[in-house]
Amino acid sequence: MFVKHQTRMCLLRHLLLPICLLGFSFFSVVLVSATPQEIPISQASPRTGGAQSPGPPIVKVVIRQDLNKKILIALIVSSTLLCFTVLLLLYLLLWRYRSMNNSFNGIKGKSDSVKTSSVSTKPTVHKVESVTKGTIPVYEYQLLESGTNKFSDGNVLSRGGRGCLYSACLDGKSYVTVKKLDGGGETDIEKQFENEVDWLAKIKHQNIVSLLGFSVYRQTRCIVYEMMQNGSLESQLHGPSQGAGLTWQLRMKIAVDIARGLEYLHEHCHPPVVHRDLKSSNILLDSDFNAKISDFGYATVLMTQNKNLNRPSEYLLDGKVTDKNDVYSFGVILLQLLLGKRSVEKPSTEPESVVTWAVPKLSDRANLPNILDPAIKGTMDLKHLYQVAAVAVLCVQPEPSYRPLITDVLHSLIPLLPLELGGSLRIL
Ligand SMILES: Nc1ncnc2c1ncn2[C@@H]1O[C@H](COP(=O)(O)OP(=O)(O)OP(=O)(O)O)[C@@H](O)[C@H]1O
């Protein structure tokens, strides 16, 4: 999609200049040679003496034969030039096509062999202009390979359903994260790869993970992201620390950060974007616990905004995708932050979602302190706790049209977050 579009644009741009130059030079040669030659009267016609001619002297004499010869020479020269330029263009085209085949579709290319000795230590090899703003660096596969110690197990951060995630040091100093997707030929992987790169190239926001670049090599696709040192929200809540690293205030900051990222997608992108796969494992935390939304493999645009207030927006989209899907997922994350539970608990019997488990209990707010995550018990103002729980319950209502907009959610959470963490709460 975007990558292919960029390839075509790049090719066009490279061809346009030589073609224009060629056209210009050809026309100037023909124009110059076709201009009639003027010669002074004294040299042109010695027989036309002043005494014999009473009238005004003839000042222009065009020697047709000489002119024809010149035109012929000019034509030969320009057609030789034309042939030469066409050949040069063909060569350039072939060269360009080959080099692009190597970087974008190395499956067929002969020059796929890895030349590790010639790998540049610079992370960015060349840049492709984004559709909207900025540029997306294209990384050489070999650079990513050497930065991850040949994608060694020691560099694995996580093994996901669609590929492996590695930490990589590309410049000897700073670390980045590389997602390696094998099986690029498979349409599903290819689609998700292109979707993720497309979206992250266009979307730039402090609460959305930054795309640093990508690489395409044979059947392997790599996406390079900024490193998020504190991993995912899921690993913070359910990893070895069991939520102990997340205070009440940090949890509120994470909730506000996610809501800000979603508000940007729903309200400030044109057309609006729906993430569709929001969950705690897709919420990443940097070294300062700033939360960022990641994984845009399933994101899509919201084609029609609901202008008719009597009809739920679901109807306009055949009941498939709306921004309220993301609001529901946000509510689930909010419940997880409060209760420290997984979105779906898998006991020995039936798996149960945190929504079906918690919502009936939350109908009586007095229950809340008893089911709260033990890691934060007694650390917050109860009024704030009830307020956050009420927002969470609103977000996970079964009827999508009853769920609030993410912008309303955001503005009800901001007053609960201390000023120094980006909220408006003044602690005296
Ligand atoms: N930029 C990053 N920095 C640090 N860790 C990351 C980064 N991106 C992802 N991770 C970690 O890797 C895990 C898997 O992320 P990934 O996006 O690869 O999931 P996935 O393979 O798409 O799986 P799923 O589809 O189930 O979400 C995350 O939960 C997080 O712990």
Please choose, from the candidates 333, 209, 218, the residue with its C-alpha nearest in 3D space to the C-alpha of residue 280.
333
Which residue from 230, 281, 329 has its CB within 8 A of the most atoms of ligand 1, so it is best to mutate? 281
Ligand 1 within 6 A of CB of 282: yes
Instruction: Please name the residue that has the structure tokens 């990893």.
Output: 239
Give, for ligand 1, the residue of 157, 235, 236 to mutate: max count of ligand atoms closer than 8 Å to Cβ: 157
Q: Helices (DSSP H) in 363-425: which residue ranges?
A: 368-371, 382-395, 406-413
Cα 16–Cα 21–Cα 27 angle in degrees, nearest 5:
125
Whole-number pLDDT of residue 149 = 95
Q: Is 344 within 8 Å of 353 (Cβ atoms)?
A: yes
| CB of 50 shorter than 6 A to ligand 1 | no
Selected catalytic residue, list 66, 257, 277, 326: 277
Q: What Rg value do the Cα atoms of the chain yield, rounded?
A: 34
Q: How many CB atoms lie within 10 A of CB 290?
A: 17
Instruction: Identify the residue whose C-alpha is closest to ligand 1 atom 13.
Output: 158
Contact between residue 338 and residue 389 where contact means Cβ atoms under 8 Å apart? yes
DSSP element (H, E) containing 41: helix 41-44
Return the ligand 1 atom nearest residue 209 CA.
1
State residue 71's pLDDT score.
Answer: 82
Q: Per residue of the chain (428 residues), what is the pLDDT tens digit? A: 444 444 444 444 445 545 545 555 555 555 545 444 444 444 444 444 444 445 555 555 455 667 788 888 888 888 888 878 888 888 777 776 554 443 333 222 222 322 222 334 344 444 444 333 357 899 999 999 999 999 999 999 998 777 899 999 998 888 999 999 977 566 788 888 888 898 899 899 999 999 999 999 988 999 999 999 999 999 999 999 999 999 999 999 999 999 999 999 999 998 899 999 999 999 999 999 999 999 998 899 886 544 444 444 444 445 567 899 999 999 999 999 999 999 987 765 677 899 999 999 998 989 999 999 999 999 999 999 999 999 999 999 999 999 999 999 999 999 999 999 999 888 76
Beta carbon of 210 within 6 Å of any ligand 1 atom: no
Please check whether residue 392 is in contact with residue 338, taking contact to mean a CB–CB distance below 8 angstroms. yes
Q: Is the CB of 160 under 6 A from ligand 1?
A: yes
CA distance 283 to 232: 5
Nearest ligand 1 atom to alpha carbon 235: 31
Residue identifier of the C-alpha nearest atom 23 of ligand 1: 160
294 lines ligand 1 (CB under 6 A): yes
Residue 149, ligand 1, Cβ within 6 A: no
Instruction: Give 257 Cα–ligand 1 centroid separation in angstroms.
Output: 18
First to last CA, the chain: 53
How many angstroms separate the CA atoms of 166 and 154, rounded?
Answer: 9
Could you give the CA distance from residue 280 to residue 233 in angstroms, rounded to a whole number?
5
Q: Helix, strand, or coil here: 121?
A: coil
Confirm or reject: Cβ of 281 under 6 Å from ligand 1. yes
The residue whose C-alpha atom lies closest to atom 7 belonging to ligand 1 is: 228
- Confidence (pLDDT) at 231: 95
Q: Relative to the CA of 232, which ligand 1 atom is closest?
A: 31
For a pocket test of ligand 1, which of 148, 158, 182 has the largest count of ligand atoms closer than 8 A to its C-beta? 158
Q: Which atom of ligand 1 is nearest to the CA of 282?
A: 29
How far, in Å, CA of 58 to CA of 420, rounded?
93
Instruction: Specify whether 277 is catalytic.
Output: yes
pLDDT (0 to 100) of residue 210: 95
Please report the pLDDT score of residue 1 as a whole number: 44
pLDDT value, residue 319? 53
